[in-house]
Amino acid sequence: MNQPNIIAEPGRNCWVRVHTDRLAFLVDGEAYFAAAVQAMLRARSSIVILGWDIDSRVDLMPGRSSDGMPRHLGPFLHFLACRRAELEVYILSWDYNLLYLLDREPLPRYKLGWKTHHRVHFRLDDEHPLGGSHHQKLVVVDDTVAFLGGLDLCGYRWDTPAHLVHDARRVAPDKTAYGPFHDVQVAVDGEAARVLGELARARWLKSTGELLRASSAHEDPWPTQVVADITDVDVAISRTLPAFEPHAAVHEIEAMLLDVIAAARHSIYIENQYLTAVVIREALARVLQRPDGPEVVLVAPRDASGWFERNTMGALRKRWLSQLRRFDHHGHLGAYYPRVRSGGDEAVVNVHSKVMIIDDRVIHVGSANASNRSMGFDTECDLTLEDDGDARIAETVAAMRARLLGEHLGVEASLVREVLVEQRSLLRTIDVLAGNDRSLEAMGKDAEISLDAALPDVELIDPDRPIEADAWIARLVPSAVRASAKRTVLRGCLALLMVVLMVGLLDRMIDLDYVDRDVWLRHIELVRDHPAALFGVTAVFLMAGALVVPLNLLILTTAVVFGPLLGFVYAFVGANVSAAVFYGLGRMLGSPLDRLVKWDRFQRLRWFLRRRGVLAMTTVRLLPVAPFTLVNLVCGACHLSFRDYMFGSVLGLLPGTAALTVFGAQIDLVLRQEAWVSYAALLLLGVAIVFVSVWAQLYLRKRDERTSEPA
């Protein structure tokens, strides 16, 4: 009789625990791509694809005959839709930020949407907290077969278990050759596939607002060439979902990983792209301190990909390993990277997999990295197979660990198991079998240098919770709303004084004939009467916005040149066109803004926008939250509704623009006339604007503070 499960608890460390008739581990891209193609060819009703990156140009069958079918993802899905009239294909890819622009397929909406059959539906998923991403990698066919793990249907993913140093088939869609790449995907069917289909449809609904129907197909699309590693078992599905209004956070993966680590008796085997999660490091540190604790084997890339990642996530991993090694009092920790040699050439294998194997009891595979953001910031989906007294599961787990180690060490899995029985230690088994053309190399201890002072705050690089979390805002907002009235008045008076002094200086230069009043006025008239004046002013506002020139200065200048009526119209149009353009740019930039903007102002702005929509936008225009251009960029990055944004912007800019154009027109009057009364009027008007502005700002702050208090 099976023992009750000891780890999976739906509602705490997993979403559901469900049955699968067949489960297969697909190691590396060759196996996964081939299996996905076969399953999709047999689809009758629906194919749902979720991914961090999806590329229509990716070759699904490198080095193999396509039998007349299109080889690349976009044309292949088009072919499937044309071939089967009832088939609907849904593709949801993360709406990536500007940092990945050069790495992604250009015009994905065109390639996977407009260019394909009308029953191939492509959407970009932007329903995330600022800086977060959709990271689940799922393909669900007819709600009957599903694939999940670390592999996306995109470039730079395909490879064979041989991981050859040079492989002509390993070419990205942009025709760039890339090095060896290792990853793991899982195929399941039955109830597990149905539940994953439900998860995929829920994500589509959240991102697009469209409700997809469950599949009505009854045929079995399981790929015939895939032999199940185990049949008739229960698996646990765990998720990470960040807090994103109105939905609460889900941290099932984090809870599951902490549970399985704590349950380890003999060994913990981890393959992961990133090793930066604080909670994982602390959990491993606890078991390493036990004299009878398990061995911990870490397999990761030698280096992160690209300059940016090497100096952020790569540097954090060095610090993470350095800190973990301090707790390895009993020599139970080993950290390795796989490398391959051929002749005189050598290459390092890029480990992209997310696998954790505990003893011969538990295997955990999915999309979640051992990083902070995968624990609480990005959307993730993982699967756990647990030995609950079923000897078949223990055998499957042990066989999978031997298979992975054998691949990295260049030996058969059977030899790994034989040596492991002799040595009774994973670390000693690796030492005995290492040194071949394919091998595991120990990671150096270069992380022992003092990195803490050199590295940026981990919260900026690898956050574990959304930036707009309530606790974060509660800490930041009180200090932001209690601005000093005296300081606000002082700033306004100083600005007014500077304007008056500049006007006086210019007037004095005119009196001393340094500036010819008649020539100056003639040039102003020429500009004022030019038929393209409005377009010229708008272009100036756009260029000034790019240079972050203060908006108030632009409005004043426009009023001086064009007078109160035209000055108001031109300044108002120019400001709102600039607002719309930089909103669009902010929407393109996305999460890089979270590193460019001061945190307190940035979070305060996001809080306003998410809380009150149009009213928030109106308030932001009236309050000096941040420079005009910065506000526009952040509003775009926050994905505030464009309608709400522009409506609030128009309302918020009206009073300020009107007041400043009247003030600017008075400046023009001072420069045209030599009367002290004009100076007096200018000063009184300026003082009135300052104090009305201060009163409005303080009123809005106090009102906002009252309405933000809990009921």
pLDDT in tens, 341-390: 998 899 999 999 999 999 999 999 999 999 999 999 999 999 999 988 89
- Per-residue pLDDT of 637-679, as tens digits, reads 766 777 777 887 888 788 777 777 766 666 555 555 554 444 4
Residues 6+ away with beta carbon under 8 Å from 125: 50, 92, 93, 94, 95, 134, 203, 207
CA 335-343-305 angle, 5° bins: 40
Instruction: Report pLDDT for 44.
Output: 95
Q: Which stretches within 512-641 are classed as H helix? A: 517-528, 533-546, 551-589, 593-596, 599-612, 614-622, 628-637
Of the two residues 489 and 267, the one the predictor is more confident about is: 267
Tokens standing for residue 231? 């049949």
| pTM across the whole model | 0.69
Residue 516 one-letter amino acid: D
Coil/strand/helix, residue 99: helix
Asked whether the predicted pLDDT for residue 595 surpasses 90, the reply is: no
Nearest residue to 300 via CA among 348, 237, 243: 348
**Distance, CA of 13 to CA of 486 (rounded, Å):** 52
Q: From the CA atom positions of the chain, what is the Rg in Å?
A: 31
Give the pLDDT mean for 408-431.
96
CA 672 to chain centre: 56
- Per-residue pLDDT of 471-491, as tens digits, reads 333 333 334 333 444 454 445
**Distance, CA of 619 to CA of 702 (rounded, Å):** 12
- One DSSP character per residue, 316-361 reads HHHHHHHHHHTT-TTS-EEEEEEEEEETTEEEE-EE--EEEEETTT
CA 196 to chain centre: 22
Tokens standing for residue 549? 């020139």
Write down the residue that tokens 């809870």 correspond to: 255
Q: Which domains does the chain have, with CATH numbers?
A: 16-461 (3.30.870.10), 470-708 (no CATH)
Tallying the residues shown for the chain, one arrives at 711
Instruction: Report pLDDT for 185.
Output: 98
Tokens standing for residue 37? 């193609």
**Distance, CA of 493 to CA of 499 (rounded, Å):** 10
Instruction: Report pLDDT for 367.
Output: 97
Nearest residue to 283 via CA among 300, 270, 302: 270
Cα-based torsion angle of the residue sequence 210, 202, 183, 421 in order, rounded to the nearest 10 degrees: -160
- Per-residue pLDDT of 312-347, as tens digits, reads 778 888 889 999 999 999 999 999 999 999 988 999
- Per-residue pLDDT of 70-121, as tens digits, reads 999 999 999 999 999 999 999 999 987 555 666 678 778 777 878 889 999 9
- DSSP type of residue 171: B
**Distance, CA of 588 to CA of 637 (rounded, Å):** 7
Q: What is the mean pLDDT of the chain?
A: 80
Asked whether the predicted pLDDT for residue 3 surpasses 70, the reply is: no
Q: Which of 61-70, 79-88, 125-134, 509-518 has the lowest mean pLDDT?
A: 509-518
Coil/strand/helix, residue 91: strand
Contact assessment for residue 563 and residue 528, using Cβ atoms and an 8 Å cutoff? yes
Give the pLDDT mean for 220-235.
96
- One DSSP character per residue, 435-476 reads -SSEEEEEPP-GGGS--TTTSPPHHHHS-SS-TT-HHHHHHH
Instruction: Report pLDDT for 200.
Output: 97
Give the pLDDT mean for 525-543.
77
Contact assessment for residue 500 and residue 683, using Cβ atoms and an 8 Å cutoff? yes
- DSSP type of residue 175: S
Query: Residue 692 — pLDDT band, cuts 50, 70, 90?
Result: low
Give the pLDDT mean for 283-310.
88
End-to-end CA distance of the chain: 54
Write down the residue that tokens 């909406």 correspond to: 109
Tokens standing for residue 85? 């009239």
Backbone angles phi, psi at 425, to 5 degrees: -160, 130
User: 246 preceded by cis ω (within 30°)?
Assistant: yes
**Distance, CA of 97 to CA of 108 (rounded, Å):** 14
CA 197 to chain centre: 23
Write down the residue that tokens 């058969």 correspond to: 412
Count of Cβ atoms closer than 10 Å to residue 77 Cβ: 25
Percent of the chain whose pLDDT exceeds 90: 50
Of the two residues 441 and 504, the one the predictor is more confident about is: 441
Residue 656 one-letter amino acid: G
Backbone angles phi, psi at 379, to 5 degrees: -80, 130
Give the pLDDT mean for 64-74.
89
Asked whether the predicted pLDDT for residue 590 surpasses 90, the reply is: no
Give the pLDDT mean for 425-447.
90
Query: Residue 398 — pLDDT band, cuts 50, 70, 90?
Result: very high
Instruction: Report pLDDT for 485.
Output: 42
**Distance, CA of 524 to CA of 505 (rounded, Å):** 19
Coil/strand/helix, residue 160: coil
Contact assessment for residue 122 and residue 113, using Cβ atoms and an 8 Å cutoff? yes
Q: Which of 56-60, 78-82, 167-171, 478-482 has the lowest mean pLDDT?
A: 478-482
Contact assessment for residue 55 and residue 155, using Cβ atoms and an 8 Å cutoff? yes
Burial 670-697 (b: 16+ CB within 10 A, else e): bbeeeeeebbeebeebbeebbeebbeeb
Contact assessment for residue 609 and residue 602, using Cβ atoms and an 8 Å cutoff? no
Burial environment of residue 292 by CB neighbours within 10 A (0 to 12, 13 to 18, 19 or more): exposed
Instruction: Report pLDDT for 246.
Output: 77
Tokens standing for residue 551? 């908006």
Task: Specify which residues 346 forms β-bridges with.
Answer: 341
Count of Cβ atoms closer than 10 Å to residue 115 Cβ: 15
Cα-based torsion angle of the residue sequence 464, 466, 472, 476 in order, rounded to the nearest 10 degrees: 130
**Distance, CA of 417 to CA of 250 (rounded, Å):** 38
Residue 37 one-letter amino acid: V
Instruction: Report pLDDT for 140.
Output: 98
Percent of the chain whose pLDDT exceeds 70: 73
Residue 33 one-letter amino acid: F
